[in-house]
Chains A and B, each alone.
Chain A
Amino acid sequence: MKDLFPDTADELEIGEIAYQDTMIDTVNAIIKKYDHNPTRLMDILIDTQSEFGYIPPPIVAQISRTLNISIVDIEQTLSFYHFFSAKPTGKYTIYLNNSVIANMMGREEVARTLEREAGCKFGDVSADGLIGLFSTSCIGMSDQEPAALINGKVFTRLTPFRVKEIIRDLKAGKRLDEAVVEGLGDGANAQPEIRSMVQNNIRKKGPILADGYKAGEALKKIVKMKPEDVIAEVKLSNIRGRGGAGFPTGMKWEICRNAPGEEKYIFCNADEGEPGTFKDRVILTEYPKMLMEGMAVAGYAVGAKKGILYVRYEYTYLQQHLESIIEGGRKKNYLGKNICGKEGFDFDIRIQFGAGAYVCGEESALIESAEGKRGEPRDRPPFPVESGYLEKPTIVNNVETLCSIVKIINHGAPWYRSMGTKESSGTKLLSISGDCKYPGVYEIEWGFSVNDVLEMVGASDVQAVQVGGPSGTLIGPNEFNRTLSYTDLSTGGSLIIFDKRRDLLKDVVMNFLNFFIDESCGSCSTCRNIPVFLRQKLEKILNARGVQKDIEEMLEWSKILKASRCGLGLTAANPVVTSIKNFRSLYDKKIQHGKDYDSNFDMLIAVKESCDAVGRVPQMS
């Protein structure tokens, strides 16, 4: 791990700027922009980071003095998120995705080329301070990997050749937008407010993604209804949360509406961090109006006047686009005061960006983060619907859920229930990635089988499918007849396909374990430790040192994770557990048979470092 907090000024490295008066003024201006509000610390740090490329201790001290909060409070937020740094990260900071899909699509070569061209290793900044290379978890581009963020701008489908071009351009002093030479993406990606090379890859449209959506239709309809009736309609539709957990949306709204207190909040969770998921990115790009209309509908139904759209840092390239949509909504009176002429129906939205943390997709961690703190999940109860943002009743809904609500209002609950299955009504957006001909976003009705999906996306020779991302299930061909639904294979929509070329244990399970280890907030000892132990065991097995008992212990230890506080810990062993369950033979092939114990201890390796330190030759006797 990099040293985030250099102690003294003499540790200043090349590329660091001296703390000057101009910096003081800039930071003060940023703090002023957020009304000296400590709960807006995330925004203050994001702006500071993007202004200077890092947040050195003097600035932390200055923010602490100005906001009248302790330095430690700032440092703990600062150190929690991937995209904050107390040390310079280069004039151009490159974050290359290290998800399993990126690896499958050729990340390794791209990474080595980056190192060669930039002249520094990953985790470092080049000697001239121009380029910093870092790894990051899935950035939501799984259908166009390998992908990287350079100063927040997305570069997709990287190849060694392309990397050489980009680094050459940066070294030549070209601007980043000039470096996008391969053209712009489809749909709104090409608009001046986004100008990104990201592709939407919408492959199959259903009612949510259908053309012909007219903004404001749902709002005009609900202002003629009582809020209770809106909730009744949502309940009647049977819709459940689309983020993955599947909580009934109508019930959530009802509890929040009935919770005491005048001030309530609507959060839209656009933090999609589950590796392999990217459908929310497509909605944010193409259907942001629908999303915001959904938030306003929720506001009307539960009696909330403020909405917060929490968007992951990786999607900051959409910031201008989203802000102009909000502005447009205000002009049309779909946001603001007395919406659609309804006296007292006030609702407005602000965007809150994250700064790189998977766990912030968990609703209470997301709320903590929006309050400027570390994204650590809260203990429940109380649930956010009773005590959420700033301890006020808060709804947190997924992007897709809120869009579905708009369609439910427009077309009626019975229409919605006519799709899908009895327990799982409506449609689901799938993010398809991995080994198939047509990766992208598909909207299908619940109840399709995995086989149906594989056929649709042009996948052949399939060895396994990861349903629901790393926290989901790894299944093999004998389970491809299972259906996608809340009662069978429940999913937030990510399906990663692996064909027979892939080494499931080494490439997939190990990658997922590393992901969970990196992303654990560290609060529960179970989630902080067990995945590390599981990784040690898996390494041992991959090194041909494993025995039968190691597999049994992995399964036993995984059970302990059930004592964790949030979904991350609860599911962190799923890659191990489901791969042992469904691909036991892969493990059995690697372990030593006829042996009941192997320590995996190697004295020569264990004493090497200390012998080097004192200058002696290890003696094995």
Chain B
Amino acid sequence: MERKKTIVATASLAGCFGCHMSLLDIDERILSLIDLVDFNKSPINDIKNFTEYCDIGIIEGSCCNSENVHALKEFRKNCRILISLGECAIMGGVPAMRNGIPIRECIEEAYMNSPSVKGHNPEMILPNDPELPMLLDRVYPCHEIVKIDYFLPGCPPRADLIYSALEALITGNEMKLPYEIVKYD
């Protein structure tokens, strides 16, 4: 009897897609991975909405706006195991560099004061369409919004780390964590 495949979903919130690129970096092992898993909602296959309950959700990026929070909560609802992948998801990463600056100043800098917009926004319009996501007061790491089960560090995490983590989760074997995988300088 054919074994039921593990269903994986992924998302990139406030991130750079570098972690997803690293996921693709597992090279030809992606073929053996495909034997083991099916992808549900993910930028890799462009499925926009969950169509079934998933085993593993992989989150790249942090939460910088209401849409990110919404997406992350959807993942928590639809995934048995949730993984924070990479620096942004775990710590906020580069997007969180704005955290020391009041959000009002960030918005004004982006739309009124920075050299590229100065003089081009004479009416000083700040984007406020109800369709737009609302910016959060600061950038939140994923575990401050929902419960996260596992954290895979790195910027981006190495392909080997991602692969061995998925392999361990799927096969139920203990994960191999040699020193080279978790050292960062």
List chain A positions with a Cβ less than 8 A from chain B. Answer: 596-597, 599-601, 603, 605-616, 618-619
Contact B104 A609 (CB under 8 A): yes
Question: Which chain B residues numbered 58 to 78 have a C-beta less than 8 Å away from chain A?
Answer: 66, 69
* Assembled-state Cα–Cα distance A603/B140 (Å): 11
B128, B130, B140 pick with most chain A CB within 10 angstroms: B128
Residue B182 is within 8 A (CB to CB) of chain A in the complex = no
Interface class of chain B by DSSP: mixed
Q: Could you list 14 A-B pairs, sorted by A, with CB under 8 Å?
A: A596-B147, A597-B146, A599-B146, A601-B69, A606-B138, A607-B66, A607-B135, A607-B136, A610-B104, A610-B107, A610-B134, A613-B103, A615-B128, A616-B130
Closest B residue to A620 by CB, please name it: B66
Interface residue count on the B side (C-beta < 8 Å)? 21
Q: CA A612 – CA B107 in complex, angstroms?
A: 11
With beta carbons under 8 angstroms apart, the residue of A603, A614, A618 that contacts B107 is A614
Q: Which 7 A-B pairs have the closest CB atoms?
A: A610-B135, A597-B147, A613-B104, A614-B128, A607-B134, A614-B126, A616-B128
Q: How many A-B residue pairs have CB under 8 A?
A: 57
Q: Is B38 an interface residue (CB 8 A)?
A: no
- Provide the bound-state CA to CA distance between A566 and B60, in Å: 37
Q: Which residues of A contact B138 (CB under 8 A)?
A: 606
Closest to A601 in B: B145
Chain A residues within 8 Å of B122, by CB: none
| Bound complex: CA A88 to CA B108 (Å) | 29
Determine how close the nearest CB of chain B comes to the CB of A532; give it in whole angstroms: 12
Q: Is the interface of A mostly helix, strand, loop or mixed?
A: helix
Cβ–Cβ contact A608 & B137, under 8 A = yes
A610 to B140, CA, bound (A): 15
Assembled-state Cα–Cα distance A613/B135 (Å): 10
A283 to B104, CA, bound (A): 52
Q: Is the CB of B137 within 8 A of A609?
A: yes
Write out the residue numbers on chain A whose beta carbons fall within 8 Å of the beta carbon of B126: 613-615
User: Is A609 in contact with B102, judged by CB distance below 8 angstroms?
Assistant: yes
| Nearest-CB residue, chain B, relative to A610 | B135
Distance in angstroms from B25 CB to nearest chain A CB is 30
B103 touches A610 (CB 8 A): yes
A613 touches B145 (CB 8 A): no
What B residues does A610 contact at CB under 8 A? 103-104, 107, 134-137
- Within the complex, the shortest CB–CB distance from B87 to chain A, in Å, comes to 15
Report the bound CA distance from A610 to B127 in whole Å. Answer: 11
The residue of chain B having its C-beta at the shortest distance from the C-beta of A618 within the complex is: B134
A617 to chain B, nearest CB (A): 9
Q: Residue on B with the closest CB to A536? A: B144
